[in-house]
Amino acid sequence: MRHSDLIFSNEFPAPARLGQELLLIYDKILLKKSPAFRQWSRSFPLQYAVSAGEDLKAVENFPRHIGALVQLCEKVSTRHLTLVVVGGGSVGDFGGFVASILKRGVGLVHIPSTWLAALDSSHGGKTALNVGSVKNQIGTFYPADKIVMVRSLLLAQPEARAFEGFGELLKIAWIQGGSLWRDLAQEKNVSSPMLWKYLEAGVAAKYKVVKKDPEEKTGWRHILNLGHTVGHLLEVLHQLPHGISVNYGLDFSLRWSWERGLMSSSQYEKIMRAPVSQYLLSAGRDHLLSRQKKDLNEFSRLLLSDKKKTKAQTLRFIFLQSPGRCVIQEVTVEEVIKEMVRQQEAALHEL
């Protein structure tokens, strides 16, 4: 797998440092949200603005996008072309996919504009488009040449986004364990400066996992889905932001790991009592509690169509033994639903 250079910078990098012939692809909302970006973007003669979101990733819209992009770089030498992609998850998935197939692969620089992209999706080379209603059905493994984390761009986000990004940071801290988790556990506030402080260590931890299984052949990379199986259900069914949903999914996985006897009670108590864990009891959890059980049928249907299912009725679920030690086990859809009901009832008792 190609190596990505990681750059952590207070300001936008000089375009000349990013490649010879540059084509800027960016989330058009950034022109409003970040004056620094607006200023910087003016130095790119070739640029293509997109609207972030799942529509951008719809394969039905792809011929229109790629037609415009091919025309834009008609006069440019293929050999020296680099796409500079500035945006969050959907823009990165789209731009990365374009870079991987345009002229059979051109240069790629990611500049993530959201915490989720900076912590997770811009790293590891996964690109994707959606086919019909099914997400990420096509894509490539195509790591960026460079990924530039720009502090001023990331801190231009509203503070509410920091809470969403926190889920991905917590996930990787649980996977990595060691000092990353020990330090994070003591944090009392979730904020943008706090996320920036842990960004480099969090990203390094993700690369440690990806390196062992760059193209998801051994199954090891699958542990990065910790908290995501149930998180995705909330995201789709309750229209919650990805980060909030992952927060809930992590909480669910932690409780199930203990209930299943994979995590000791003392370990479980230790995590639950850490200052940072107050953020686990997130809006997602309250949201779920307010729902009727008829939702569970919908959950069940979605779990079965999830791409992570291995056989008809089972899926690979990631449990946590302790920070730094994950276990993947095959579970049935019924087991997931049963545990959801158990947690729902236990939570109602606690109220």
Write out the residues near a second copy by the rule CB under 8 A. 59-60, 62-63, 66-67, 70-71, 77-79, 100-105, 126, 128, 131-132, 134, 137-141, 215-216, 307, 310-311
Q: Which two tokens stand for residue 4?
A: 């990505």
User: At how many degrees (to 10) do helices 228-238 and 295-305 cross?
Assistant: 120
Task: Please answer whether residues 230 and 248 qualify as being in contact, where contact means their C-beta atoms are separated by less than 8 angstroms.
Answer: yes
Q: Which two tokens stand for residue 336?
A: 């997931």
The amino acid at 79: R
Nearer to a second copy, 66 or 347 (CB): 66
Task: Please answer whether residues 40 and 76 qualify as being in contact, where contact means their C-beta atoms are separated by less than 8 angstroms.
Answer: no
In whole angstroms, the minimum distance from the beta carbon of 44 to a second copy comes to 21
In whole angstroms, the minimum distance from the beta carbon of 215 to a second copy comes to 7
Nearer to a second copy, 131 or 346 (CB): 131
Nearer to a second copy, 32 or 75 (CB): 75
In whole angstroms, the minimum distance from the beta carbon of 27 to a second copy comes to 22
Nearer to a second copy, 85 or 194 (CB): 85
Alpha carbons 37 and 41: distance in angstroms, whole number: 6
Task: Please answer whether residues 303 and 333 qualify as being in contact, where contact means their C-beta atoms are separated by less than 8 angstroms.
Answer: yes
In whole angstroms, the minimum distance from the beta carbon of 332 to a second copy comes to 16
In whole angstroms, the minimum distance from the beta carbon of 314 to a second copy comes to 11
Q: How many residues does the chain have?
A: 351
Nearer to a second copy, 13 or 139 (CB): 139
Task: Please answer whether residues 131 and 59 qualify as being in contact, where contact means their C-beta atoms are separated by less than 8 angstroms.
Answer: yes
In whole angstroms, the minimum distance from the beta carbon of 138 to a second copy comes to 4
Alpha carbons 221 and 207: distance in angstroms, whole number: 10
In whole angstroms, the minimum distance from the beta carbon of 71 to a second copy comes to 8
Helix (H) / strand (E) element for 50: namely: strand 47-50
Task: Please answer whether residues 337 and 278 qualify as being in contact, where contact means their C-beta atoms are separated by less than 8 angstroms.
Answer: no
Nearer to a second copy, 197 or 308 (CB): 308
Phi, psi at residue 321, to the nearest 5°? -80, -45
Q: Which two tokens stand for residue 332?
A: 């049935």
Nearer to a second copy, 105 or 324 (CB): 105
In whole angstroms, the minimum distance from the beta carbon of 93 to a second copy comes to 11
Which residues are CB-contacts of 175 (< 8 A; sequence separation ≥ 6)? 205, 209, 223, 224, 226, 324, 326
State the residue for tokens 């989330």. Answer: 27
Nearer to a second copy, 128 or 224 (CB): 128
Task: Please answer whether residues 317 and 329 qualify as being in contact, where contact means their C-beta atoms are separated by less than 8 angstroms.
Answer: yes
In whole angstroms, the minimum distance from the beta carbon of 90 to a second copy comes to 17
Alpha carbons 195 and 36: distance in angstroms, whole number: 21
Nearer to a second copy, 15 or 105 (CB): 105
Helix (H) / strand (E) element for 327: namely: strand 325-332
Q: Is the dihedral of CA 142, 127, 175, 161 positive or negative?
A: positive
